[in-house]
Structure 1
Amino acid sequence: MRGALLVGGATSDAGKSMIVTGLCRVLARRGVRVAPFKAQNMSNNSAITPDGGEIGRAQALQAFACGLEPSTRFNPVLLKPGSDRRSHVVVRGKPDGQIAAADYASRRAQLLDVVTDELASLREDFDVVICEGAGSIAEINLRGSDIANMGLARAAAMPVVVVSDIDRGGSLAHLFGTTAVLGAADQRLVAGYLINKFRGDPGLLAPGLDQVRELTGRPTFGVVPYASGIWIDAEDSLSVSVGRRVGPVDDDGRQVRLGVAAIRLPRISNSTDVEALACEPGVDVTWVDDASAVAAADIVILPGTRATVSDLAWLRSRGIDGALRTRAERGRPIIGICGGFQMLARTISDDVESGIGRVEGLGLLDMSIRFDADKITRQVTGQASTSVGRVPIRGYEIHHGRVDHGTDDPWITQGEDLIGEGAVRGAVRGTHWHGLLENDAFRRDVLAALAAEAGKPDFAVCTDTSVAAIRTAQVDLIADLLTAHVDLDALFGLIDAGAPASASIITHSLIH
């Protein structure tokens, strides 16, 4: 098998990332040399490659499903929103300035060569490349400068499968309308459809799929059922909704449970940091945005953000700063990660990200933060002291901020020279390291300390939870779902055959 396939969406958040992850895993388990690809991603949930490049977190998970290390080749263009109208641009893993939304159309035309060259290179090195589109493939107002959906499919002569989330309603209309609004040349590349998150009796849906085939001339390759156990790294921080429980909900009958409140900052980044805690039995993690929830929780996570100073002002406007100070005074645990760590400082000097200059931080840690124009992006390793001795740890950094440490103890030590990283003052902890809580032995030790500080010393920490094993089980679960509910032979036949030689063209005369 050799070729490529683009998995596009009828809407944003239709399940493209999940489908690509599952297809990559199915092919890898069959011994096919497969790689993921997303030409352009807009996300503040990012990962760091071994060489220090930055890519979308979803593409790092897809690489994991393929048995590969993350690489900038899999996501050559990454946009990180800093405000509603401006984004930071990352090209081939490295910062490449900022751009306003209105100006990006001209910039995308220049980036088309970047993404098509990278895709062509991957197709030479791998048997199959499974590409993920961005948003909806029917954003016709952006079609002229598109480099991630039909523009990419046309440039690379790839067949396209469109995914629709039926749980939201209107799925059949989405499939028809998405295809119908495309130009004829784009329509010819649309080979068929996938329905995602279906609940109920497939027999009731079948007549609708038959009618969609009559109207469009295209088959539905599968109906993937809704599965509550599916839990993968979120690509878009906007999908992190207030009140949403993080991770699978377990009810193991424990009498003592820990409630974790993760503050849903407006420009949250790397929201996946909190998910390692949600892997633990008896730990309930929920996204919140109000002071009362922050006050009531056993543990509070102040996560990363793409706009530290602006989100700090938002936090103050909602009275959450006062709730955090009260927690600190009462010795109740708070963890700040990256931007959230920076907010805990005495002062923040930012002439880079916000351009505001010096502002007062929350003052819960004895340090100052200074933003530097050079961005730190790297994987990191180190050691940490735990109740069972020193244990190895690893993580990654993505930040402009530099720390001027004061009198607080470091949270972890880094490298052979044991340089301190992060800070601890009482029950307040902070670090620039993302992924720190994914280190199993370290997380268990921290969780035991947090439970005691929260007034729940009887909480029993699980001794065998493995985040890596849970992540492996998740990608295998997705692959198993697709194997059971998708016509993979037909889908993979598209990869071998390439773009359809001929396909039905929907004209407006079909719409009465």
Structure 2
Amino acid sequence: MSLNERECSKKDTLPARTIMIQGTASDVGKSLITAALCRVFTNDGWRTAPFKSQNMSLNSYVTWEGKEIGRAQGMQADACGILATTDMNPILLKPTGEMSSQVVVHGEPLRDYDASEYRENYLPAAGGIVREALQRLRETHDIVVLEGAGSPAEINLKDRDIVNMRMAEWADAPVILAADIDRGGVFASIVGTLELLEPEERDRIGGFIINKFRGDVSLLQPGLDWLEARTGKPVIGVLPFMPGLELEDEDSLSLSKQHAYEQIDAANEMRELDIAVIRLPRISNFTDMDPLRFEKDVRLRYIEHAEQWGYPDAVILPGSKNTIEDMIWLKETGLAACVQKHAAGGGAVVGICGGYEMLGTRLYDPLHVESMVNETDGLGLFPFEVRFAAKKRTVRVAGTGQLNKRSSPARIEGYEIHMGEVIWHHDKTSIHVHRPFQVKEQRLGTDLNATSSLTPEGASSQDGKQWGTFIHGILHNDNFRRLWLNRLREAKGLSSLPADLRFHERREAAFDRLAEHASRYLNMPLIYGMLGQSKEGKP
């Protein structure tokens, strides 16, 4: 059947089949398992899309329409080889404090809610929003892979659930329950979760995936046999732990474990460039630093205390969901003084988004957009102030980057997500600032070769050692990243290295590696059976 014939016949067929990945807890690997199935189904010829009705994360993604969704769903859309839309994550919660979050609906900020107000006043209406989004996906795809959140056994949350078992019911989706054996107690977590579900919810679960296994699976077999006998449900597969998988994590919960593994690597200690990232309490879009993990000359480490400072070749201040309060924390920990001393001595400092805002002289939030604190001093590296506005800027951009006027420009692209507006001081200090990026908004069909509409963005010192930008993903640009790293190498008397890390290509290879891993260790015929289809029945 041709593509046109398939599109015409689709109008007369049922909506897409659905399957859902839920977990016994947070951080058990739901997002990556979902991505793996997305890639497997796509490779098998099915038009596949991801879906998560409600996501809570500070690691976000900007669609081509300039809308904000959870980064995990953007990554999963990439695994499917399709453009991400807000229908894949219609509700995004971005924590602003211990008990409050900014609620983003179909990519646009609605307002901040505290937990109880959101639960009582907004969740009843949210069900309709997520059902409509899922329905649109089902009308244009063959399979939709749903991802749950946390655990379906959170008894105190079940009466307002829109993301686990109630979502599975709305989608008429069979559920695969994933559990993390690496944290221990895997059999208790699976059986305990089942015990806390209603009978009709237990009936919806078609089997289990045990994730992050290390060791000889034959030693686990008696436990697997007991679990299947105890529950009457199959173990769909035991997924071995995959080290060094070059795909983004859902949120900063994974940072500690990820970098604990890297610190064990002796080769990591011997790398020539030491780059320290300040792990802000409200760090956002930490995946900006991911490519540095795979540069062969970079030792990447995260620091939270002045005692961890050491002798970095460069320091990165990442994004923040609450820039003012993270700036205050920076001063209280002594890290602000470390950054200022480092910069004054000619050290390299980079600020991205919230980190860029901190590089100015002062931060103002009179509308309490991000914080209840009205204002605070910045680090004073650049002559500008930042004021937080009510409207968020979410856009993809593309253009060129040139850290100083003598260096050659490199093509760049990325995305902006911020509510801060930079206001420059027009005095003699501003003549010492270089605007390193020339960019324009990037939409589908944008002519990236046209330069007439480029506008300046960001700031850098005349020598390019200190710089900042609102552009997330700036270090995902291979040639630009290597130009910057080679400047750090030159400062240490080291020879330059070629830009031989192609991060996008490695990421695509990681999707294929993940799909191959899933196909090898999961019972895919059983999963296709849960969908009511066979692999051979592909279009």
Q: Same fold (TM over 0.5)?
A: yes
Match of 1:365 in 2: 382
Q: Is the 8 A contact 2:246 2:506 kept in 1?
A: no
Deviations 1:170-198 (A, max 9, x none): 00111111111001121111111000011
1:299 Cα deviation (Å)?
1.4
Aligned residue number for residue 439 of structure 1 = 477
Once residues 110 and 459 of structure 2 are traced to their aligned partners in structure 1, the CA distance between those partners, rounded to angstroms, is 31
Q: How does 1:50-449 map to 2 (within 5 A)?
A: 50-106=64-120, 107-241=122-256, 244=259, 257-351=272-366, 352-385=369-402, 389-406=408-425, 407=430, 408-415=433-440, 416=451, 417-425=453-461, 426=463, 427-449=465-487
Amino acid in structure 1 at the alignment position of 2:30: K
Offset of residue 124 of structure 1 = 1.5
Q: d(CA) in 2 for partners of 1:487 and 1:337?
A: 43
- Unaligned runs of 5+ residues in structure 2 are 1-13, 441-450, 535-539
**Residue in 1 that maps onto 2:36:** 22
SS in 2 for 1:191: strand
Distance change >3 Å, CA 367–CA 267, structure 1 → 2: same
Check whether the contact 1:242–1:289 (CA below 8 A) recurs between aligned residues.
no
Q: Pick which of 229-238 and 374-383 moved more.
A: 229-238
Asked if the contact 1:252–1:282 (Cα under 8 Å) also holds between the matched residues in 2, the reply is no
TM-superposed deviation, 1:67: 0.2
Per the alignment, residue 464 of structure 1 pairs with 500
Alignment of 1:496 onto 2:532: yes
CA 1:177–1:131: 2 relative to 1, 3 Å:
same
Deviation at 1:411, TM superposition (A): 2.0
Write out per-residue CA displacement over residues 431-471 of structure 1, whole angstroms, 9 at most, x where no aligned residue: 01100111111111111113334xx2315434221110111
Q: CA deviation at 1:293?
A: 2.7
- Tell me the TM-score normalized by structure 2: 0.88
Matched with 1:506 is none
Structure 1 residues 437 and 181 mapped into 2: Cα distance closer, same or farther (>3 Å)? same
Distance 1:119 1:353 in 2: 31
Q: Once the 2 structures are TM-superposed, how far is the Cα of residue 472 of structure 1 from its aligned partner? A: 0.8
Q: Which moved more, 1:464-473 or 1:40-49?
A: 464-473
Unaligned ranges ≥5, structure 1: 499-512
CA shift for structure 1 position 253: 9.7
Secondary structure of 1:206's partner?
helix
Whether the aligned pair in 1 keeps the contact of 2:27 and 2:253 (CA below 8 Å) is no
Q: Aligned letter for 1:399?
A: H
Shift of 1:410: 1.1
Quick check: 2:318–2:355 contact (8 Å CA) kept in 1? yes
CA distance in 2, matches of 1:459, 1:164: 47
Instruction: Could you list the structure 1 runs, at least 4 aligned residues long, displaced by more than 6 angstroms after superposition.
Output: 246-255
Q: Percent identity?
A: 40
CA distance in 1, matches of 2:503, 2:261: 14
Query: 1:451 and 2:489 equivalent?
Result: yes
Amino acid at match of 1:39: S
Which protein has greater RCO, CA pairs closer than 8 Å, 6+ apart? Answer: 1
Q: Is the 8 A contact 2:149 2:164 kept in 1?
A: yes
- Residue pair 2:328, 2:376 contacting (<8 A) in 1 also: no
Q: Is the CA contact 2:273–2:488 (under 8 Å) kept in the aligned structure 1?
A: no
Kept in 2, the 8 Å contact 1:344–1:362? The answer is yes
Could you tell me how far apart the structure 2 residues matched to 1:283 and 1:254 are? 9
Instruction: Pick closer, same or farther for the CA change 1:469–1:135 going to 2, 3 Å.
Output: same
1:510: which partner in 2? Answer: none
Task: Tell me how far 1:251 sits from its aligned partner.
Answer: 7.2
Secondary structure of 2:434's counterpart equals coil
Q: Among residues 444, 459, 478, which one is paired with 2:514 in the alignment?
A: 478
**How far is 1:248 from its partner?**
10
Partner SS state of residue 141, structure 1: helix
Over residues 256-280 of structure 1, what are the superposed CA-to-partner deviations in whole Å (9 max), with x where a residue is unaligned? 5111111111110000011122221
Normalising to structure 1: TM-score of the pair? 0.93
Q: Distance in 2 between matches of 1:118 and 1:199?
A: 38
Output the amino acid matched with 2:422.
Answer: V
Name whichever of 400-409 and 483-492 sits farther off: 400-409
Which amino acid counterpart does residue 367 of structure 1 have in structure 2? F
- For the 8 Å contact 1:374–1:400, the answer to whether it is kept is yes
User: Which secondary structure does the structure 1 equivalent of 2:197 belong to?
Assistant: coil
Distance, in Å, in 2 between the alignment partners of 1:253 and 1:224 is 27
The residue type equivalent to 2:401 in the other structure is A
Of the three residues 24, 46, 56, the one matched with 1:42 is 56
Name the Cα RMSD after superposition: 2.1
Q: Is the 8 A contact 1:256 1:459 kept in 2?
A: no
| Alignment CA distance shift 1:77-1:495 (3 Å) | same
* 2:324–2:375 contact (8 Å) kept in structure 1: no
Aligned partners of 1:166 and 1:198 also within 8 Å = yes
Please identify, of 302-311 and 154-163, the stretch whose mean Cα deviation from structure 2 is larger.
154-163
Following the alignment from structure 2 to structure 1, what is the Cα–Cα distance between the partners of residues 245 and 333?
A: 33
Are 1:76 and 1:118, in contact at CA under 8 Å, matched by a contact in 2?
A: yes
How many residues get paired? 496
Q: C-alpha separation between the residues in 1 aligned to 2:375 and 2:522?
A: 55
Q: Distance in 2 between matches of 1:366 and 1:159?
A: 57
Q: Which amino acid aligns with 2:387?
A: R
Cα deviation for residue 255 of structure 1 reads 6.7
Q: For residues 253 and 390 of structure 1, what CA distance do their matches in structure 2 show?
A: 30
